Amino acid sequence: MMKQKYILLLILTLFVILLMSGVATFAQTIHIIGLVDTESDERLAGNKFVKTQLYELGRNLSVTDLKIDSVQFTPESLLDTSLIYDKIRKIKVEKNDVIFCYSAAHGYNRGGSVYPTIRFGLTNQSDIYIGKLKGVLESKNARLCIIINESCNALHKNKFFFNNNEPRSLFNLQSLKRLFVDSKGTFLMLSCDLDQKSLITEEGGIFGKAFFYTLHEQFYSESSSWEIIAQTTKRLTQRAALEYENFQQVPYIENNLSYQSTTETQSEKDVAVNVTINPYKYEDFEIEIKTDKGRENLMYYKCDTLRISIRVTKPCFIRLVDISPDNQTSLLLDNYRIDADKVGKWIEINSIPNQPYFICSQPFGVDYLLSFASQKAFCPLNFKKVNGIPYLEDDFKNAIDCTRGKLLMGAGIVLEDKLKVFTKDKFGVSCH
Q: What is the pLDDT of residues 207-230, one digit of tens each?
A: 988 898 888 877 766 667 898 889
Query: How many domains are contained in the chain?
Result: 2
- pLDDT score of 96 more than 60: yes
Crossing angle of helices 206-218/226-245, nearest 10°? 150
One-character DSSP codes across 286-353: EEEEEETTBSSSEEEETTPEE-EEEEESSSEEEEEEEE-TT--EEEEEEEEEE-GGGTTS-EEGGGST
Cis omega (within 30 of 0) for bond into 363? yes
Final residue before a domain boundary, out of 241, 266, 291: 266
User: What is the extent of the structural domain holding 344?
Assistant: 281-424
Does 431 map to a domain? no
Q: What is residue 25's predicted lDDT score, i.e. its pLDDT?
A: 41
Same domain, residue pair 101 and 189 = yes
Same domain, residue pair 296 and 248 = no
Same domain, residue pair 304 and 361 = yes
d(CA 178, CA 220): 12
Same domain, residue pair 37 and 160 = yes
Does 194 map to a domain? yes
Does 4 map to a domain? no
Per-residue pLDDT tens for 233-271?
888 888 888 876 677 888 999 999 987 754 434 555 665
Does 100 map to a domain? yes
Same domain, residue pair 298 and 204 = no
Confidence of residue 170 (pLDDT cuts 50, 70, 90): very low
Same domain, residue pair 68 and 169 = yes
Does 429 map to a domain? no
Q: What is the pTM of this model?
A: 0.59
Does 39 map to a domain? yes
Same domain, residue pair 223 and 313 = no
